[in-house]
Amino acid sequence: MARMNEEGQWIVLMGLLVAVALFFLALIVNQSALVGQTTAEGVLEFPKNDIRDLRSAVFDYIDRYEVLQTHGHLGDVKTDIVEISLERKNAVVNFTVGEKRDVSGRQLHPVTIHYNNGVTEYDETVYY
Amino acid sequence: MVNDAGQLYTMEGVAAGLIMLLTAYIVISTTSIYTTGDTHIPDMQLEQLGSDVLAMMDTPDGDGDGRSRLTELIGAGKGEMLRNEFLANCNMRTEDPDDNLQAQVFLSYRRTDGSVNTTPLSSPSDPGFTGRENTVRVTRWVQLTGKPSGILDIRNNTGPYAVLVEVLLWRA
């Protein structure tokens, strides 16, 4: 008891270092699981496909703009898109299409697109 | 005969014990988070797959004013055929045997009175469908020049429509 021997101190010190290292590794593994979950949730929550689909629907609408205008169906098709979006996708959608104008030598429609589903809001102004 | 020469070792022992306890706690709480995180990732993948297949089917085969396969099938009211072709595209895998995904097709449109109606275009491809499957819903806008066959109460008799194709997709 009286004669303590301190020659093995570095072994004890290494043990302590290994324990601290393990502690941090466990912390990293713990965080990585959380990151995987929040990423997947974030991707599911962000309506990427809804917005892309809405854009392509608006551009399809503009492709047939002249035909629709001649027959007076512009408002009908637009109302379809706005009302079905609200009912089935819980998204407030609006878009406007202006008359063709000259943009760097090409005749294009000025288009605004608005999308809001309460979590994500998206606004776009584009010439098509 | 009490002697305090070993105090340092005691302190070390306590510190090491605390670190080990904390490590064990973090490792155990980690596994419980894994299960909740895991359920979201296959949903995300399934949704992306379904959206991609619908986008592909909505792409015309030729240049010009060609109609896409999706528009053709909706216009002709062939919901069962649409479901089967959609599933054939979803289940296709390189080299491996086909996947086992199931689907049901719905169509949303506006009625004459302005209300929105959703109607099934096909039956579920899985005869044992219970309604409790963990499904994802993928959608695609389709613009039709004429009245889709089989949809009687769509708003007016002629004229173009914008309708929403909705597909429920799940793994059986």
- Sequence-ordered strand ranges (E) for chain B: 101-110, 116-120, 136-144, 161-171
What letters, b where the CB count within 10 A reaches 16 and e where it falls short, cover A101-126? eeeeeeeebebebbbebeeeebeeee
Q: What is the pLDDT of residue A72?
A: 83
Question: Which of chain A's residues have a Cβ under 8 Å away from the Cβ of B40?
Answer: 37, 40-41, 44
Put simply, the answer to whether B16 touches A19 (Cβ < 8 Å) is: yes
Amino acid identity for residue B27 in this structure? V
Q: pLDDT tens across A68-113, in order?
A: 888 888 888 899 999 999 999 899 999 999 989 998 999 999 999 9
Question: Which of chain B's residues have a Cβ under 8 Å away from the Cβ of A84?
Answer: 108-110, 116, 162-164
Amino acid identity for residue B65 in this structure? D
Q: pLDDT tens across A15-55, in order?
A: 889 989 988 988 888 787 677 777 777 777 888 889 999 99
Q: What is the pLDDT of residue A54?
A: 93
Q: Rounded CA gap, B44 and B160, in Å? A: 34
**DSSP conformation class of A119:** S
Distance from CA of A6 to the nearest CA of B (A): 10
Q: Rounded CA gap, B122 and B146, in Å? A: 20
Q: How many C-beta neighbours within 10 Å does residue A33 have? A: 19
Q: What is the pLDDT of residue B38?
A: 64
Distance from CA of A125 to the nearest CA of B (A): 20
| pLDDT tens, residue order, chain B (172 aa) | 677 777 888 888 999 899 899 888 887 876 655 555 566 778 888 889 999 999 999 988 877 667 888 988 998 888 899 999 999 998 888 888 888 889 999 999 998 888 899 999 888 888 888 878 888 999 999 988 888 888 888 887 777 889 999 999 998 8
Q: Rounded CA gap, A88 and B167, in Å? A: 12
**DSSP conformation class of B111:** B
Q: What is the secondary structure of A92-115 as a DSSP string?
A: EEEEEEPPPEEETTEEE-EEEEEE
Q: What is the pLDDT of residue B32?
A: 58
Identify from A18, A28, A30 which residue to disrupt to test chain B contact, counting B C-beta atoms within 10 A and taking the largest count.
A30
| Option in B12, B109, B140 nearest A12 (CB) | B12
Judged against a pLDDT cut of 60, whether residue A1 lies above it is answered with no
Identify from B14, B20, B26 which residue to disrupt to test chain A contact, counting A C-beta atoms within 10 A and taking the largest count.
B26
Record the tokens describing residue B80, joined without a space: 């069962």
| Option in B19, B30, B34 nearest A20 (CB) | B19
Is A85 exposed, middle or buried (CB count within 10 Å of its CB: 0-12, 13-18, 19+)?
Answer: buried
Partnered with residue B116 across adjacent β-strands are B110
Helix (H, G, I), strand (E, B) or coil at A125: strand
* CB of B121 closer than 8 Å to CB of B79: yes
Is B134 exposed, middle or buried (CB count within 10 Å of its CB: 0-12, 13-18, 19+)?
Answer: exposed
Distance from CA of A44 to the nearest CA of B (A): 6
Judge if pTM exceeds 0.90.
Answer: no
Amino acid identity for residue A100 in this structure? K
Distance from CA of B67 to the nearest CA of A (A): 11
- CA B85: distance to chain centroid? 17
Distance from CA of B31 to the nearest CA of A (A): 8
Domain boundaries, chain A: 8-45, 47-127
* CB of A122 closer than 8 Å to CB of A113: yes
| Option in B6, B34, B110 nearest A84 (CB) | B110
Identify from B48, B116, B141 which residue to disrupt to test chain A contact, counting A C-beta atoms within 10 A and taking the largest count.
B141
